[in-house]
Every structure is written in C-alpha cells, then in structure tokens.
A and B are shown apart, each in its own frame.
Chain A
Amino acid sequence: MTDIHTPGSKRTLGTDVVIVGGGIVGASAALALRQKGIAVVLLERDVCGSRSSGINYGGVRRQGRLAAQLPLSQRAHHIWARLPELIGIDGEYVRSGHLKLGVCAADMASLENYAQMAARYDLPLEILDQQQLRRRFPWISQRAIGGSYCAEDGHANPRLVSPAFAHAAGRLGAQIFDQTPVSRIEHDGQRFIVDCPQLQVRAPLLINCAGAWGHRIAAWFDEQVPLQVSCPNMTVTEPLPLFMDASIGIEGGSIYARQVSRGNCVIGGGQGYTTSDTTARPGREAVLELMKVASGLFPALASAHLIRFWSGIEGNIPDRNPVVGPSHTTPGLFHGFGFCGAGFQIGPAVGEVLAELIDDGHTPTPIDAFAINRFSTASSTLMSTTIVSGDE
C-alpha cells in the first residue's frame, strides 16, 4: 500500500482493492481479501456495521430463501460455524432452530413444496403438523396449524457480529476508514479514483457494497438496478423468562421473532418510514399491528412490555435476489448489494465469493442469478412484484 501524501492536498492512498461500504458484506470481503494477502482499503460513510448490517433482526437462516440463494447460504452456514476463530467473538450466535409457521392449509402446502425443493440443496426441513407443533413448541398458540423446522438455523447479535467482521479485517491489515463518505468515483482507464472529503483512494479494483445505496454507485457506471428502499420495523421486549427456543418465521411474511439468552424477545414485522436519505423510524400502525399478531401467537407476551423500537434502510430488488458479481460495463468493478432484507446470514459467504472473483476470476458458488445485467432484460412482471417485508 502506498501513501502518496502531498502537503496542501488531501491524503491520497494507493491500494489493490477499494471497497465502498463497511457492512457485513464489505467487511467480509475485506477480511477474505486480506486472508489472501491482497491490499484493501475499506471506506464507510458512517461506522462499520452500524447500518442495516448491525441493526437487523439477527436471523441466521437458510430456510425460506429462494433456491438461487441456497448454495451461497449453505456456504455461509459453514462460515458461521467458525465464527469465533474468524472474528474473535461468538456474536451470541446460537443454532436454536428456525421454525416457520403456517396458519392455513395453503401455508402448509407451500411449506411442503419448499421442503421438497430445499432437499435438493441438502437442506433438511422437518414438516410438523399441529399436534407435533403443540408437543414440541407448547408456547405457540393454536393459531399456528403447523410448521417447517430447520434444526441448524438460528440467530446471532448483529450489533456485535457485523462490526467484528470489520475489526477482524482491520487486524489482518485492511485499512478501514469510518465516517468517510464517497463523493465521486472515476475510472481513468486503469484505475478507479475514489474521492472522499479528506481522502482519495486509487485502486485497479473496486467492490461496491453500499447496501441500500449500492444502485447509485452502479448507476455511476451506467448499470441500472431497480432498487427500492424499505424500512423494516424492529421491536424488543424487556427480558422475559426463557420460553422461545426457536427463531420464528411465518409463511408469507408477517412477523418474525426470537428470544436472546438475556430473555429479551426481538420481534420484527411491518414497515416504518424514512426520515431522510439515510434514516428511518418504525411505523406506529405497524408496531401496534405487530404487537397484536405477536401476542396472538405467543401468549407469554400478554403481560410483557416493549422497551425499544427501531428501523433501518434496506435495499429491495423486485426479484428478491441481491446483485452479486462483476460489473457488465466496467472491468475491475464488482458488486455486492441489495440483499432485500436477508443479507445477514449470507453476507460472510458473499464476501468470500467477491474475494475469489478478484483473486481467481471465478468462484465455485453459483451466482448467475445475481448478475447485474438481469435487469436490462427484465420483464414488466418482474418489476411489478413487490416485497412485503424484510428485517435488515
């Protein structure tokens, strides 16, 4: 890494790879690149891991993902198993099991179809009927008529895990700049020139991991992504006696819930609203609705209190898949953004994939479905699909 500081001008750095965005994807990519001995500068507008990567629900889940994501998700599953050796903390990661509930026959049919599909990706799911559900999970009300259980899925604390990826990358020599927004990126034919208020970074390779703002960087290189922001609502209860021994999802969306070892139940659902380009608040109606749905499903909440609400800004893409892979307009540019509220679990695997693309030019993990040029041929039906909720 070369530091070509000239007095009177802003600091200029040269490096192999510059990453824009210090969320779990960008930080994982920085870590994976450093493991390969490649020089990295990571630029984060705020503080690494403080946006959606750090304030999401914390689900570490394969069940429920689109088929195209399952290879990536399986790869991530193995990374999560090595979390302490990788980032130095356990991040409160537990394989509690992930239980997706159905509340009507159509839900159960859908869960069964999904289980058959997932089996082809070596993801074993156990379909539970109402009796089995009552026996295994007596804390769930009769509103649920069955479920699909994935024993090795679980949850973790995103507040701790996501910044820890950045810290781990920093310990391996990645140069990390917090509070460093990127104002402009140019390509001079050989290198990217990335301008920030106090810093200019020059590198032949650039990774765009700018989350819900990633499409703006893509647009600077003439690549259009129909990304729309969403603001999932998150709530947390005061600590309660432990009862919720699985992370809960509901077929079709609605709420999602988990209980941490301290006893707090983290429950998400519904949408908030943006208060600026970078900030969001929970929505009153949706929070009240969430409380209604959650207390209907989990009677133990009846006398509990919510102590905190929050929201964040997510990048949603109509086909519910992220953009991962090389640019189709600009050699040396790679993307990893737009995870549609489901990037926390797969983030570390995406980081490894991006590092492989840079180091080897290819990755063994199938990522064709995430190509950025898929939108140039997108049909109007694809564009009209809406995302109901997410949680990051």
Chain B
Amino acid sequence: MSSAASLTTLPPVIVGAGPAGIRAAETLVRAGLRPVLIDETAKGGGQIYRQQPDGFSRPAKALYGFEASRAEALHASWRALLDQVDYRPHTLVWNSEGGELDLLQVREQHYDGQPWQQLILATGATDRILPFQGWTLPGVYTLGAAQIALKYQATAIGSRVVFAGTGPLLYLIAYQYAKAGVEVAAVLDSAPFSAKLQATPAMLKGPAVFAKGLWYLGWLKARGIRIEYDAHLLAASGDQRLTAVRWRQQGQEQQLDCDGLGFGYALRSETQLADILDCRFQFDELNRAWLPVRDAMGRSSRDGVYLAGDGAGIMGADAAEWAGELAALALLQDSGRAVDATRVSQLQQQLARTRQFRQALEDAFPFPEQWVHEVADDVVLCRCENVTVGEARRLISELSLQDMNRLKAHSRVGMGRCQGRMCGLAAAELLAATSGQSVADAGRLRAQAPVKPLPYAIAPTVQQWSPALPVTAVAEEADHD
C-alpha cells in the first residue's frame, strides 16, 4: 500500500443507488470497506429498477417484465448491503466544495456535509427531450415519468395513451402499459423502419437485447396496437388538458384522440455533479453530448473521482452494473489494493461490446436531426423560463451568439428550476443549427450549484443575528450595486 493510500481514512462515497451505484458498493464491501451510499430516492434500484413504495405489491414480473430477474437480483444485493454500507436514502447532493459534498436531506429538509477522498459518481440519466407544440399541456409526460408513474405510483398517465419519440424505452414502456391494462392507442416512432432493418446485423451483437426488442414489438403488434414509423410529433392539443396528438408521416398530417402522451428520444446523462467537481468534459459523438471523460476503468480526469453508469454516457442498465463494479475496482486499485485482473478485463470486454451494440441502437433509433429545422417558432423551448424557439432563434441571429452560456445569458434558456437539464440539449441543437455550427461547437451549459432547487427551509432557524455576515453597523461599510 502506498503511503498516500494509507492516509486515506474516509470511507469511499458513492452518489446514486441505481445499478452502477449498487454494484460499486457491493464491490467495495467485498473488499472490506464500508462505503457511504447516497440515494436521492427512498430505496435502491435507480430508475430502471425503481422499487415500489412500501405496501405496494405488484409482482416483479408485472413491473419489470423480462428484466424482473435482474431487478430482483439488484434489489436483493441492495438489501444485503443495507447493514454493510452507510446508506443515505432521500438525500440529494446539491454541491461540492473543498473535499466535502453538500447534502440535502430531502424529507427532513436539513443540511448535511459529507467529506470525501474517493468518490464514485453514478448519477444516472433522464429522458432526452425535444419540445413540440403543446408539450407542456397537462397529460403530456416524458417516457421516464410515465414509467415512474406506473412502477412507483401504480398509476397510468391516462386511460388512452400514446407513446412517441424514439429509443428502446418507447417500446418497453408501451408494452408495460399495455400489460398493466392501459389502452395504448399508438406508438409513434420518429425513426423510419428502414433504420431498424439496416441496423439489424449490428444489433445481433447484442442478441438478448435485440430479441427482447423484437418480442416487445411482436407482442404489441399481436395485440393490434398501432405502431407508426417515421412519425414526427407536431402537437399535443386540448383546452385544459391533452385531448389529441397530431403528427406528420411522409408529408401527411395525422391525428389521434388520447388523454395521455409519453414522449422522449432516448436518454441524456446527468453530469452536473461531475462538472461542479471540475472533471474534464469532451464531446461524445455517440451520445451527441458533452460528457465527463473517463479511462477504461472509469477514472475521471480528477484524482479520486470515478464515473460509472448512464451518468457518464448512456450504455443501459446491464452496462451500468459492470461499469459500477469496474469503477470500484479502479478505486481499490488506486488505494493500493490488489484487484482481480481477469475480472477487470472481463468487465472491460463486456463494456466494449455494449458500446458497439450501443452504436447499432443509435442507428436503429437515430436522433431526429430534422427536428431543429421543423420545430415552429411558437413552440416553448425552455418551460421554466417560458422561452420560445422563435425567441431563441431571433437572439442567436441578432446577437450572433455562438456559445450556450451566452444563449443562456441573453435568452434565459436553461436559467430556471431545471438549470437546462431538460431544455439544454434542444437549445444546443437550435443554437448549432441557427448559428451554422456543429452541436459540439455550440458548447455546453456550465453547471451551477445547486444541482436541484434548494429549499430555504434548510437555512437554520434564525435565533439571533449570526456573526458570519455583518448585520449590525461596522466601521467600514461595504456596499454593492
């Protein structure tokens, strides 16, 4: 053990208790450590294997379908870890400063600090969103939110539901909803069927995933559920809430009545914490996004910070488990402990194969590049700040804006509650197309704390004026503009 490693007295900290975080924790526990496992939700499992609240009793098979055994295995690992890790449910990491994470206990609304020397970020992903007319209407959800409603709250987003967008989740969730007895009026895939055919040979590299995809598709078709390809969302309409969805297909507009719409275009990584921790980022073509760089073991550019799972690049739940284990092995190795080289190389091979398959998935469910050219000026781009596509386009042109942070400064895009986590990607597409640059050159929004809105309730109750900020007369007054 190196002398530096022997000075390490703090337990490793893992942020996120999804597939990556749980496998990382398990690996560290196996090595005799007791990591801190920070989880924003109530129970481990992350989003894809999100557990039901206490008292809910749908069987795993009904909740997770083909993934039931994986979900159950992960949940079992999590339960087994509970008395071997320092588990912190309902805990949001909202900032980091000087070797300490800033935590919010979400339920008690109080502040806590967590010092760290080694940190594994397994922060997961959210839906990749492209706005369309009416996307803020009640009844319209992201695919991920629609899935949470079903898995966690045992409720559906409507009684007659349309799913639209693209990506594997589109078919999975349509299946899950139909299986739960909800009427699925249509699945609208923005990708043409030809893309899927062309991607088929490469998809065979991930035969299990491919077979599952085919199975969902076949299952949906067998039940007469309408599936449309090359279908581009135009509008969600309704007075007070959603009553119909409109799309364009091969030049023709079509419409369908529905009271629930789930949409999304695959996933995007949650990278703010890596950004706040000053990890270096680079543009990743496959993810069409700026991501924190990591080596083959999951080490970030910053000593002691490791990256795993969808938070560092979308690879799916299986890959997240492998990457979580690998990041933990990297951490152990860097602490001067021996790790099983065979296991390391096995995990790395599995991840490399997944990345190849990931390319095939991207070909089968391509990002709808025409969106940016077709989206109407009156569509709301940033819903927190109510900025329209037209307003952003106008400012980009008039002020010759080139960079996302300047677009934010001038238009308020990404300045609201979500801090650009929802609208940032669409705004980058718009900036790139309008200013004639690549998406890479449009740059990325700098992350700013807090990662999510921070309640004033965490401010300690004011008993008396605090000494830290002067609130009584001082000899030399400092003023401000």
- Write the residues of chain A forming the contact surface with B, with a CB cutoff of 8 angstroms: 47, 50, 54, 56-61, 64-65, 102-104, 106-107, 110, 143, 159-160, 163, 167, 232, 237-238, 249-256, 262, 268-270, 275, 281-286, 288-296, 301-310, 320, 341-345, 385-392
Interface: B4 (CB within 8 A)? no
Q: Is the CB of B459 within 8 A of A292?
A: yes
Chain B residues whose C-beta falls within 8 Å of the C-beta of A282 in the assembled complex? 449
Chain B residues whose C-beta falls within 8 Å of the C-beta of A387 in the assembled complex? 476, 478
Q: Is the CB of B478 within 8 A of A389?
A: yes
Q: Is the CB of A302 within 8 A of B457?
A: yes
A320, B403: Cα distance in complex, Å: 35
Q: Is the CB of A309 within 8 A of B481?
A: no
Q: Is the CB of A285 within 8 A of B468?
A: yes
Query: Quick one: closest A residue to B276, CB to CB?
Result: A281
A310, B95: Cα distance in complex, Å: 12
Interface: B239 (CB within 8 A)? no
Task: Choose from B403, B476, B480 the contact partner of A385 (Cβ within 8 Å).
Answer: B476
CB of A96, distance to nearest CB on chain B (Å)? 14
A103-B479 CB under 8 A given contacts A284-B95, A292-B462: no
A249, B479: Cα distance in complex, Å: 8
Q: Is the CB of B481 within 8 A of A345?
A: yes
A254, B410: Cα distance in complex, Å: 29
A343, B409: Cα distance in complex, Å: 20
- Write the residues of chain B forming the contact surface with A, with a CB cutoff of 8 angstroms: 95, 97, 100, 102, 111, 278, 385, 399, 403, 406, 409-410, 415-417, 419, 448-450, 453-460, 462, 465-466, 468-474, 476-481
Task: Choose from A102, A143, A284 the contact partner of B102 (Cβ within 8 Å).
Answer: A284
Chain A to chain B contacts (Cβ below 8 Å), 11 pairs: A58-B481, A253-B477, A288-B458, A292-B459, A293-B462, A293-B471, A307-B417, A307-B419, A309-B95, A320-B478, A386-B476
A57-B480 CB under 8 A given contacts A47-B406, A304-B456, A306-B456: yes
CB of A178, distance to nearest CB on chain B (Å)? 9
Chain B residues whose C-beta falls within 8 Å of the C-beta of A307 in the assembled complex? 416-417, 419, 450, 453-454
Query: Quick one: closest A residue to B453, CB to CB?
Result: A305
A293-B481 CB under 8 A given contacts A288-B111, A305-B453, A308-B419: no
CB of A1, distance to nearest CB on chain B (Å)? 21
Chain A residues whose C-beta falls within 8 Å of the C-beta of B403 in the assembled complex? 47
Residue among A60, A106, A292 with max Cβ neighbours from chain B (10 Å): A292
Q: Is the CB of A392 within 8 A of B480?
A: yes
Q: Is the CB of B469 within 8 A of A270?
A: yes
User: What does DSSP make chain A's interface, helix, strand, loop or mixed?
Assistant: mixed
Task: Choose from B399, B466, B480 the contact partner of A342 (Cβ within 8 Å).
Answer: B480
Chain B residues whose C-beta falls within 8 Å of the C-beta of A249 in the assembled complex? 479-480
Q: Is the CB of A392 within 8 A of B481?
A: yes
CB of A253, distance to nearest CB on chain B (Å)? 4
Q: Is the CB of A291 within 8 A of B481?
A: no
Q: Is the CB of B480 within 8 A of A232?
A: yes
CB of B393, distance to nearest CB on chain A (Å)? 18
A61, B481: Cα distance in complex, Å: 6
Chain B residues whose C-beta falls within 8 Å of the C-beta of A386 in the assembled complex? 476
CB of A374, distance to nearest CB on chain B (Å)? 17
Query: Quick one: closest B residue to A66, CB to CB?
Result: B479
Q: Is the CB of B468 within 8 A of A289?
A: yes
Q: Is the CB of A291 within 8 A of B97?
A: no
A285, B102: Cα distance in complex, Å: 10
Q: Is the CB of B469 within 8 A of A342?
A: no
Task: Choose from A103, A283, A302 the contact partner of B456 (Cβ within 8 Å).
Answer: A302
Q: Is the CB of A106 within 8 A of B472?
A: yes
Query: Quick one: closest A residue to B474, CB to CB?
Result: A252
A391, B479: Cα distance in complex, Å: 8
A104-B409 CB under 8 A given contacts A56-B481, A342-B480: no
Task: Choose from A58, A103, A275, A392 the contact partner of B465 (Cβ within 8 Å).
Answer: A103
Q: Is the CB of B470 within 8 A of A391?
A: no
Contacts beyond the supplied A159-B410, A238-B417, A345-B481: 12 A-B pairs with Cβ under 8 Å: A50-B406, A61-B481, A102-B473, A253-B478, A269-B469, A270-B468, A284-B95, A285-B468, A306-B454, A341-B478, A342-B480, A392-B481
